[in-house]
Structure 1
Amino acid sequence: MTRSARFLKRSVALGAIALAALSLQPGAASAATEPAPSGGTPGTRVVGGVPAAQGEFPFMVRLSMGCGGALYRQDIVLTAAHCVSGSGNNTSITATAGVVDLQSSGAIKVKSTKVLQAPGYDGNGKDWALIKLARPINLPTLRTTTDGRYDQGDFTVAGWGATREGGGQQRYLRKATVPFVDTPTCQQAYGSTYIPGEEICAGIMSTGGVDTCQGDSGGPMFRKDDAGAWVQVGITSWGEGCARPGKPGVYTRVSAFSQDIAEAADQL
């Protein structure tokens, strides 16, 4: 059985994007319309997460096909390969940046010009892609790890994805902390479907309850480096359901592809 037949990719089906867009309209009855974080008590939370503050993660990007991403360079977004349909010229994607509230008048919106999907991507592993933007976005970028030194510990994930398995997309950016899950434990959870050299797992094995979910695909998993700066270690990829006990989230291991990503960015 292929991975796509058994496990839910954490992107959003096209039909769900239309429903999500409707839910983001003013006055719509949806968990997506919880009040903006301003010191009050938040409403529905993203699979154990909380609202992110404006400017907390300036590198975060929302992509119009229903995925997340991060500014790799000011004119290039790093996302998941399964979020795009292939490589080549592509002007159909809109990147939204600079805000936690997708309805904010301050949102920066830039169209894509090209897409590069990871060479050799076949739905299993190698789940990374780059999107070239029509113009640079003047915001901080997210540095990617170049080795495995930061591939453990507690990680931060963020996105506009569902607050629960099967839920709708969100208006406000949310964040959560997920602990590293070692390779033997992840292999026990997913068997041969998990690719240790290319993927990294994170989540609370015993209880679940904290995880990325549908619509968070392509978004970064990151942590502080030794100097206290954010560094990206993962790309939200897949998992069995969302926040289930014993079923951690699976992320593209950025350290395994950092050189390939850098070389691809130079050619994009």
Structure 2
Amino acid sequence: MEEGTHTSSALSTSTSDISIYQVLLGALKLQQPGPHAVYVPVKRVECNPQYQGMASSADVALVELRVPVTFTNYILPVCLPDPSVTFESGMNCWVTGWGSPSEQDRLPNPRILQKLAVPIIDTPRCNLLYSRDADSDFQLKTIKDDMLCAGFAEGKKDACKGDSGGPLVCLVDQSWVQAGVISWGEGCARRNRPGVYIRVTSHHKWIHQIIPELKFQGKASSQQQPRDPRGWQPLLENSAPCLAAHAVMLVLVTLFTIL
């Protein structure tokens, strides 16, 4: 994984279009998903009505699956954070995906799922970084209130093309929560151009309107999280019910959902 041009495009919600989509669960390799992988057809997509196009706020959608999902050691939910949960600058989180390793390269077969630790960057600093060497369309205050930045000012490492819609997860009170959804970036792993994510907590009300029974995880500051020296723990350690109580899971994605 590296950084990416994470542009977003709205996914059509017509029945004819939706019927061609499937969600792949429980796979480590895209080319050889393996015996634990499951393909589940998509029933409907709920796009955020405030979305207005590339680098826009509200670049997020909910995908309802046509059949119930059975959770296993290979298929597990991630929790959605309560609005009171904060993700402080410098907090180490993780982004995963099957996207390109660089602007020039494509992830080679069998396309093994990649993971990368990225620190949170606060919004004022992220706007400042994007204002430097500004020979693009991005201006000051490009980073909207419902966006979250993560990555490195020096570049070199971040999500990339094909990762859009993937999760940014952080460990909060011993549970993995989805802090953000990969949305956009300028280039791939460029200096002063960290990755930009849609902040899940900013869309709590919209998500709750669609899934009223959904319980959000944690009402504590992320500063209370335990620091794991390994930097990574399996999602199997999630202690919260998260989405597991739902017979038909809804998946949080950005409006660009094709790998």
Shared topology, TM-score over 0.5? yes
Q: Following superposition of structure 1 onto structure 2, how do residues 37-48 of structure 1 map, counting pairs within 5 Å? A: 46-47=1-2
CA contact (8 A) 2:57 2:144 kept: no
Stretches of 4+ moved more than 4 A in 1? none
**CA distance in 2: counterparts of 1:81 and 1:148, whole angstroms:** 29
TM-score (norm 1): 0.65
Deviation at 1:169, TM superposition (A): 4.3
CA contact (8 A) 1:88 1:115 kept: no
Q: Secondary structure at the match of 1:262?
A: helix
Report what 1:145 is aligned to.
81
- Whether the 8 Å contact between 2:7 and 2:184 is mirrored in structure 1 is no
1:81–1:121 contact (8 Å) kept in structure 2: no
- Return the offset for 1:218: 0.6
CA separation in 2, counterparts of 1:87 and 1:116?
8
Deviations 1:93-146 (A, max 9, x none): 111111211212322001111111111211111011011111122232111112
CA distance 1:83–1:101, shift in 2 (3 Å):
farther
Equivalent position SS for 1:131: strand
Kept in 2, the 8 Å contact 1:81–1:127? The answer is no
Given that 2:2 and 2:102 are in contact with CA atoms closer than 8 Å, whether structure 1 keeps it comes out as yes
AA aligned opposite 1:99? A
Pick aligned residue for 2:178 from 200, 215, 232: 232
The answer to whether the 8 Å contact 2:123/2:143 transfers is no
Q: Is the 2:146–2:198 contact (alpha carbons within 8 Å) kept by the matching residues of 1?
A: yes
Other structure's SS at 1:215 match: coil
Distance 2:57 2:34 in 1: 37
Q: Out of 24, 35, 52, which is 1:122 matched to?
A: 52
Query: Which residue of the partner structure matches residue 217 of structure 2?
Result: none
Question: How far did 1:151 drift?
Answer: 1.8
Deviations along 1:140-188, one digit per CA (max 9) or x if unpaired, are 2111112253322111000011111242245111100001111111111
Return 5+ residue gaps in structure 2 as ranges.
131-138, 214-249, 251-259
**Could you say which structure has the higher strand fraction?**
1
From 14, 17, 21, the counterpart of 1:93 = 21
Which whole-Å CA distance do the structure 2 matches of 1:201 and 1:184 have between them? 10
Cα distance change of structure 1 residues 86 and 195 upon mapping to structure 2, 3 Å threshold = farther
Higher helix share: 1
Question: Residue 189 of structure 1 corresponds to which residue in structure 2?
Answer: 129
Equivalent residues of 1:97, 1:109 under 8 A apart: yes
Query: For residue 202 of structure 1, what is the amino acid of its counterpart?
Result: A
What's the offset of the Cα at 1:83? 5.2
**Which residue type is aligned with residue 119 of structure 1?**
P
* Cα distance in 2, alignment partners of residues 195 and 91 from structure 1: 34
Change (3 A) 1:104 1:125: same
Q: Does the 8 Å CA contact 1:180/1:201 hold for their aligned counterparts? A: yes
In the alignment, does 2:184 pair up with 1:244? no
Q: CA RMSD in A?
A: 2.3
Secondary structure at 1:144 match in 2: coil
Tell me how far 1:82 sits from its aligned partner. Answer: 3.2
| Bigger relative contact order, structure 1 or 2 (CA pairs below 8 A, ≥6 apart) | 2
Q: What TM-score do you get using the length of structure 2 for normalisation?
A: 0.67
Judged with a 3 Å threshold, the aligned counterparts in structure 2 of structure 1 residues 81 and 161 are, in CA distance, closer, same or farther, namely: closer
CA distance in 1, matches of 2:10, 2:66: 17
| Gap change, CA 1:136 and 1:263, over 3 Å in 2 | same
Written as runs of structure 1 = structure 2, the 5 A alignment for 1:44-193 is 46-47=1-2, 82=8, 84-89=10-15, 90-102=18-30, 103-106=32-35, 107-123=37-53, 124-139=56-71, 140-147=76-83, 149-152=85-88, 153-169=91-107, 171-190=111-130, 191-192=139-140
Q: Which amino acid aligns with 1:185?
A: R
Aligned mates of 2:140, 2:198 — CA distance in 1: 16
Alpha-carbon distance between aligned partners in 1 of 2:145 and 2:93, rounded to the nearest angstrom: 18
Number of aligned residues = 190
Whether the aligned pair in 2 keeps the contact of 1:83 and 1:217 (CA below 8 Å) is: no
Indicate whether 1:221 and 2:162 are aligned: no
3-state SS of 1:143 partner: coil
